[in-house]
Structure 1
């Protein structure tokens, strides 16, 4: 049993158009009237009864209206003209209401909560699997780390270049070397020729060395002293002209011998990369003097007063004939000897301390 439409409480249901329903009778309907009935517009929303409060009425689809009109027109063409009656009009309106009440699919409106949350992915990401075998822990090195090596000594480093390092002997001894040897013989110096000294790796070189036995007729030098000839000549002249007279004046005895601490040595200066004058046989270190009465005077920082006077006189007189003079007080390396050399200096100057 069909239920009648629920009328609005505040408005009773009225027949459409305010017309009274006429009883069905036989009427002659012309063609024009049939067309007018066929083309009659759908009832307006005002004529359709409104459902009661609380029942939502969905909006009709735009596409449903033409379909309803087309179906209605076909029905009218098939059945022919029909006198409008109350039951047919009621059924027609009820059918139209059912079509309008049919729920239509519509896209859900996004809520505020939905907009704020990101959409879940189509496929849930699979978490990365942990390896079955755990990584081995870092092990301490098998060998303990070694400290950085200490800097090498200056003597192990490459020496600064010196033009004399390239000196090599000629096939025939130069004239100046021959003349130097003749002067030594005149002074009464005993010496021996020695083979050339050369060390290209370090830079040492003496192309025409000699080994001194004495510094004069009565002044010995020991141990064997290898020098170049010019240095040997200056040392012999200094011993005869300065040291011998000073020993006679201060001690009343002759100078018998000189004890040398160093002559030719292939090495740099202490703590530097510069070659020492010893590397060219151009330096002599004197550690002591021995007199004819057997007295020995040693070079040191605090000699006795009388010996100190003699040592100071020799040291002071050496500055001039020799270009470099060092001794006790100059530096710790020369606290026990006199260093004498012929290092060439600008304008023939000297360095004495």
Structure 2
């Protein structure tokens, strides 16, 4: 299934855009490159992968296992989802240049259970990793949901069951409904195809509370629009890294403080941090996003903290509970529980 962008309010003259924002200029990019001050990244973090995940999780239980970067294994109702799966050593067009992995994936690829569905947020190399997708296609041909203009790349990976959607488009699947939702970002695989494909987040609509995967995004009004359509949220996967320098990255990547604000807008019972700690994509160091997030949470005392999981760590996510306002600590929802192995 493929939608068309012909009547879209975010598509003009062959390219997509973020409504209400100014496009980034090449001169700004060059200014950043010339003045870069990269935070500290150790050569490699020697961390052991987590345990082999369960083959499946039945019923209304929801388990989220953080793999790395924006890759999360979501398991519920006997269905296994992967968000933006990346197992490669580098995220670039070539294997010898570009952002290099600084820690192992939290799940050994061969330990993955059968994957039934993949959610792709956009075509950047750290989110659409062709080598990983080829391996997943060879295993069991999962269904893939992607934004407009992305299916051709997925077919190159050997994937055959593809649903390509525009913002606010949806597709029923396996008793659920998968929604493509707005994000504030951009797309590119080469210097010549910028914004010819769309970028997005995803909502898995479920009676026990919806699951939101934000993809890559800056902070914007789309969070309020998503809440209006999809409240209540059971789980939100929110990016917290690659935000420095903020004058340049601000429109396309949230700071940890903005992730806290987005979480308060969305009102999800549980949130998990993503998009940090694996690849040096901007000027923030390895530990800066999680440290700033911790400080932001301590300052605002949100009623629903954002969890920072270790690579390979899984949590059982409680069903949605009524959100509370800032500071109402006595009304905290049930905490996401570490899995007992």
TM range (shorter): under 0.3
Give 1 or 2 for the bigger CA radius of gyration.
1
Structure with the bigger RCO (C-alpha within 8 Å, sep 6+) is 2
Q: Higher strand share goes to which structure?
A: 2
TM-score for both structures, normalised by structure 1? 0.24
Q: Higher helix share goes to which structure?
A: 1
